[in-house]
Structure 1
């Protein structure tokens, strides 16, 4: 029983560490380019979560739509920390300039969701293990029941 718990915990920690490392890479990407990182209450972050995208193509479509609309209010604006110092752009240039910030923040948002789902899965596996036992334990019960019915 302890071995299964350690295995589950170990694999979970490896997965979580990989996600956290990827998260740091995307945070560095935004910081190095002077782009804004969306905090928890950011409207675009919430809009992406509310969209419930089912695959990467849906996320890509959302990024394109968000870039074209200029944000949740539909007003064009520049992203990042250096927006005031930038030279004016045409709408099409402005929307394509937003792709790196939108894409990186979309990935960061999805990483947060993935970590939360991983945490829920681990909690469920632990609860199932405690209530139903591990594979070997269940196999023993099935074999013992079969022996009793054969006797």
Structure 2
């Protein structure tokens, strides 16, 4: 294949008859921040169970013309979809990831109230947290691990398909008694909320310790420049300004924007080792 200048691209071969460019194209670059992978997360899989169970519960026990049906199904869907969207947005924005996880958490809390209302309005019993029935639903993952034929197998519910996972909960989620179904879904919502709370705490911790996407991009750019300068002279045509070192610890600084205080909205140089070092330089 010819280049625009007439040269033959196949000349740039690694000896195997394949061009260097095509070889490099097969090596995906590692992203600065990973994203995705939500399909194997316990929170997403539990939210999928909740969504499916809510859809079929409303179809069987509620008037399809009722506004409540649409609200419950949409709340269940929102919980699931926002977990997926949060996972995909994690690569670009920690704040967006946190916002979507909190939306998922709020949607499931709304759905929890709807199922509790269903039981209360019909004078049906709601299982206590420590009841035998509630423990049986919570212990499904434990029983799955204990009942494996090969005890050296380390797989868990996240390794199953949606259909296989549903089958484990089918004795409750397909029960003819609406109280059993509603209580089982309530148990699953509590599990999903617990998992989401853990995700939110982890995302907040990562944001505090590692900074947002823009800060990580600036730090990666700085690290790249430092590597390049060690290998060769700096390009004088590069318009990137000289990056100062922290007056406290000597590490490279990162360009930040004040979020509060009298200088809100103004940019300043902050230490790349923040929050361990709070050194800063005003522009």
TM-score, structure 1 as length reference? 0.66
Matched, 1:26 2:104: no
TM-score, structure 2 as length reference? 0.37
- CA deviations over 1:121-146 (Å, ceiling 9, x no partner): 00011111122222111111111111
TM-aligned CA distance change 1:107 to 1:6, over 3 Å: same
- Structure-1 residue corresponding to 2:127: 38
TM-aligned CA distance change 1:64 to 1:15, over 3 Å: closer
Give structure 2 stretches of 5+ with no counterpart.
Answer: 1-92, 145-156, 230-283
The 8 Å contact of residues 172 and 181 in structure 2, kept in 1 or not, is answered as: yes
- Structure-2 residue corresponding to 1:70: none
- CA deviations over 1:31-59 (Å, ceiling 9, x no partner): 22221111111111111101028456235
TM-aligned CA distance change 1:16 to 1:7, over 3 Å: same
- Structure-2 residue corresponding to 1:131: 209
**Residues in 2 aligned to 1:17 and 1:33: alpha-carbon distance in whole angstroms:** 25
Matched, 1:58 2:136: no
- Which consecutive aligned stretches of 4+ in structure 1 deviate over 6 angstroms post-superposition? none
Greater CA drift, 40-49 or 54-63: 54-63
The 8 Å contact of residues 48 and 62 in structure 1, kept in 2 or not, is answered as: no
**Residues in 2 aligned to 1:120 and 1:44: alpha-carbon distance in whole angstroms:** 25
Give structure 1 stretches of 5+ with no counterpart.
Answer: 68-95
Alpha-carbon RMSD: 2.4
Of Structure 1 and Structure 2, which has the larger fraction of its residues in strand? 2
